[in-house]
Amino acid sequence: MIKLGKRFSVLFLILILLIGYLKKDYFNNKLKYLLLSYSNYIGMVLNEVYLSGRKHEKKENIIAMLNINVGDSIFSLDIEMLRKRINSLAWVKDSKVNLKPLGQLDIVLFEYIPFGVLKDKGDYYLINNEGIKFKTIEHLEFPNLVRLYGEGLIIAIKELPPIIKKLEQLNLQITKIERVHSRRWNVFTKQGFYIKLPNVSPENSIDNLYPLNNIEYNNLYSIDLRIDNRISLKYNK
């Protein structure tokens, strides 16, 4: 009897949907009510939302973007639309949304990893190591990230990670990096001086600094590595 009742309810639901398709305006609200009642009857409702991968994006932003509630009919869930909504959030690079048995909605976030803060035309953006500007911020936010500026920076940004890594091996702390005339880099350090890198093989030019690892940085103004096999040190007066 139970199986027969459920089969009848399925046929009844299909009939209502067909009629509603022909007369959408009149049956719209009634269909929603019947759909929810049917879902409750057979136990096919949203019971739990499981979220993983979130580090920076605010929970309230995700909840507002989803616009769903526990107890909603699973038939009312458009999984691809939910994924598109989540992907529109600033920190979210991509996501996976799956509806699992027993009404569990499983959401996995893949967030952008901030590489630095880009200054562009007076505005400040979080940028990843591929040059994607994914979030507008205030000037003083994320003080631990490297400040980046200069014409043509985004095109050449992939040169920076190995440069920064080598300089950090020399115990230098990088505060900002400037792209000069879309050709080369100036790297500014927390120690108070900056390094002029050449436009050709800037990463390799840093190897010339290893013999100077014990150099006294006090009163040092700049290190010029633009000429191959030559280091020029300039001190404050």
Percentage of residues of the chain with pLDDT beyond 70 = 81
* pLDDT(3) > 50: no
Tokens of 4: 């027969």
The DSSP string of 136-190 is: EE-TTSSTTSEEEESTTTGGGGGGHHHHHHHHHHTTPPEEEEEEETTTEEEEEET
Proportion of the chain above pLDDT 90, given as a percent: 65
Average pLDDT (23-51) is: 62
pLDDT of residue 39: 47
Compute CA 79 distance to the chain's CA centroid, rounded to the nearest angstrom. Answer: 21
pLDDT of residue 16: 62
Q: What rounded mean pLDDT belongs to the chain?
A: 86
pLDDT band at 76 (very low <50, low <70, confident <90, very high): confident
Alpha-carbon torsion (208, 210, 211, 216), positive or negative: positive
CATH superfamily of 45-111: membrane protein fhac (3.10.20.310)
* Burial of 113 per CB tally in 10 Å (0-12, 13-18, 19+): middle
Q: Within 13 Å, how many C-alpha atoms sit on residue 89's CB side?
A: 25
Domain boundaries, the chain: 1-42, 45-111, 116-235
> 151-176: per-residue pLDDT in tens?
999 999 999 999 999 999 988 999 99
Mean pLDDT value of segment 14-32: 58
Is 45-111's fold the same as 116-235's? no
- pLDDT (tens digit, 9 = 90+) per residue, 105-160? 999 999 999 999 999 989 999 999 999 999 999 999 999 999 999 999 999 999 99
Per the CB < 8 A criterion, the answer to whether 158 and 187 are in contact is no
What is the spatial order of strands in the sheet that 220-224 belongs to? 133-137, 123-127, 116-120, 146-149, 174-180, 184-189, 194-196, 220-224, 232-235
pTM of the model: 0.77
Domain over 116-235 is classified CATH 2.60.40.3500: no
Q: What is the mean pLDDT of residues 74-82?
A: 90
